[in-house]
Structure 1
């Protein structure tokens, strides 16, 4: 079976590497020739456009930066002659996903809504969480490929858009965890507590969360700020999550404040920075850094 892959950025490339390593015959497209080169060297077919990928592959994956790009690419893919299943891995929100699914349905193409969680490092390690929604026959067809990508594959429904909502629920919690952990750690550092010891205490206590257990030790205490996702991407997902809440008349008092902090970070020029760099905004206000102290 020939499989297409559109979008070889940080996340897309890592996912496509997993598929290619498993022996999948890939047809790839990305406007960045540098991103394409390693895949072509390993035997992938470099196609000239999304339409060309859809003319060559029955299953096409897309991992793209935002809803506007996703919808534009989907318009091209819908004209393809071979594609029968379109796997949208981008986090774009359920309204955009619904428009794509409707367009594909008109052309006899089934859409699987399939965002992932775990970042590029998780993708390369094969430990992603894969969230998928769509018609069961298409899920059955694509499931072996998804199992090559992720350790946990959750099938959350038959309707495209449900997986988008699940991903955004997760990312709203993730964004809030990071914001509150960063704020509290800055407070402790300002009061003279050892940052690394604070994290050790928290991680065996009730305040622990994914930020304190993973992101802070790896990318904040070390000062590397290289966890693997941009601040702008997190802000995008928070905004999409709040839009889902507004559409359903769900009040989001806490996450409204969380969105303001992430937006302020982007306005301070950190949009392209790693999302762990958000703590620098809080550190700047307090005049302190949350970093591991050198050994005495």
Structure 2
């Protein structure tokens, strides 16, 4: 199947590789020359802009960093809305409900089917084809996109028929994941300060009630080995928190936990830089506790 992929960052490039490995012909676009070179090395074809991708593929996926990039890609001067061949557009970014509704309306006017399909699982999940795809849209559009979704996601959940519904579910998931990461960084740093071994703590937590995505994935694979190679930047977390708080405001719901996490996360990003790897946030908690959370006992200290 001929599939377009727009946005070849940590997530998009991994998904493009999975689709190529699955036997699909992939034509892609990214503003980064390095990303385009990676696509070519993986066996994909490059395009000059989103419209060219939509000229060459009936099914086009997008995984982009923010609203403006998604708007430009969908209906900008060189957007997919002007493409000659496109029939189905799948937006896999996390943009919030209102942005998805706007994109869906613009593409519908051009006769292009639209699917709201954010994914969860991180760069590692994308590379291994075990993402969770959260989708909402018309059933015929879901079926048109299923071959591509199946190549990158081991779980596909249909949330409802309207674009935007999947965004709400994704934001609920993301604030839980971010909150768990921040809380785990604080708690494990405190345990190390008290003299506990970081790896032993994580092993205990992972067979106990405190386990979460941070203890099961980010800590053992990126933080404890001190590789800080989760793959995504802190900026993505900042964006997701802001979108969650926007949703809470729209729903007239209090968001005491989300607001607290936002304050902590913004401090972390200002201290380390928003483009730092997501897993580096542990360094701020280490500074506060005067500890190092790692596997090497020579690098950890009790308080």
Tell me, in whole angstroms, the C-alpha distance in 1 between the residues paired with 2:177 and 2:41: 37
Tell me, in whole angstroms, the C-alpha distance in 2 between the residues paired with 1:289 and 1:39: 37
Tell me, in whole angstroms, the C-alpha distance in 1 between the residues paired with 2:27 and 2:134: 23
Equivalent pair of 2:17/2:42 in contact (CA under 8 Å): no
Question: Is the counterpart of residue 8 in structure 1 residue 17 in structure 2?
Answer: no
- Residue ranges of structure 1 left out of the alignment (5+ in a row): none
Please tell me the root mean square deviation across aligned C-alpha atoms, in Å: 1.5
Equivalent pair of 1:58/1:82 in contact (CA under 8 Å): yes
Q: Which moved more, 1:221-230 or 1:167-176?
A: 221-230
Question: Is the counterpart of residue 98 in structure 1 residue 116 in structure 2?
Answer: no
Instruction: Flag the 1:43–1:205 CA change in 2: closer, same or farther, 3 A.
Output: closer
Question: Is the counterpart of residue 62 in structure 1 residue 57 in structure 2?
Answer: no
SS in 1 for 2:114: strand
- Residue ranges of structure 2 left out of the alignment (5+ in a row): 299-303
In the other structure, the counterpart of 1:122 is 125
Residue in structure 2 matching 1:79, options 79, 82, 88: 82
Residue in structure 1 matching 2:288, options 266, 285, 292: 285
Tell me, in whole angstroms, the C-alpha distance in 1 between the residues paired with 2:296 and 2:85: 58
Tell me, in whole angstroms, the C-alpha distance in 2 between the residues paired with 1:172 and 1:32: 29
SS in 2 for 1:213: helix
Q: Which moved more, 1:286-295 or 1:11-20?
A: 286-295
Tell me, in whole angstroms, the C-alpha distance in 2 between the residues paired with 1:95 and 1:108: 20
In the other structure, the counterpart of 2:301 is none
Deviations 1:149-171 (A, max 9, x none): 11111111111111111111111
In the other structure, the counterpart of 1:18 is 18
SS in 2 for 1:205: coil
Matches within 5 A, 1:235-274: 235-274=238-277
Tell me, in whole angstroms, the C-alpha distance in 1 between the residues paired with 2:217 and 2:5: 30
How far has the Cα of 1:102 moved from its partner?
Answer: 0.9
Tell me, in whole angstroms, the C-alpha distance in 1 between the residues paired with 2:42 and 2:280: 35
Tell me, in whole angstroms, the C-alpha distance in 2 between the residues paired with 1:269 and 1:41: 32
Question: Is the counterpart of residue 191 in structure 1 residue 205 in structure 2?
Answer: no
Equivalent pair of 2:28/2:45 in contact (CA under 8 Å): yes
Equivalent pair of 1:11/1:120 in contact (CA under 8 Å): yes
How far has the Cα of 1:41 moved from its partner?
Answer: 4.8
SS in 1 for 2:191: helix
SS in 1 for 2:48: coil
SS in 1 for 2:156: strand
Q: Which moved more, 1:207-216 or 1:286-295?
A: 286-295
How far has the Cα of 1:37 moved from its partner?
Answer: 2.6
Equivalent pair of 1:196/1:293 in contact (CA under 8 Å): no
How far has the Cα of 1:43 moved from its partner?
Answer: 4.7
Equivalent pair of 1:270/1:278 in contact (CA under 8 Å): no
The TM-score normalised by the length of structure 2 is 0.93
SS in 2 for 1:78: helix
Question: Is the counterpart of residue 175 in structure 1 residue 210 in structure 2?
Answer: no
How far has the Cα of 1:62 moved from its partner?
Answer: 0.8
In the other structure, the counterpart of 1:152 is 155
SS in 2 for 1:225: coil
SS in 1 for 2:93: coil
The TM-score normalised by the length of structure 1 is 0.95
Matches within 5 A, 1:155-234: 155-234=158-237
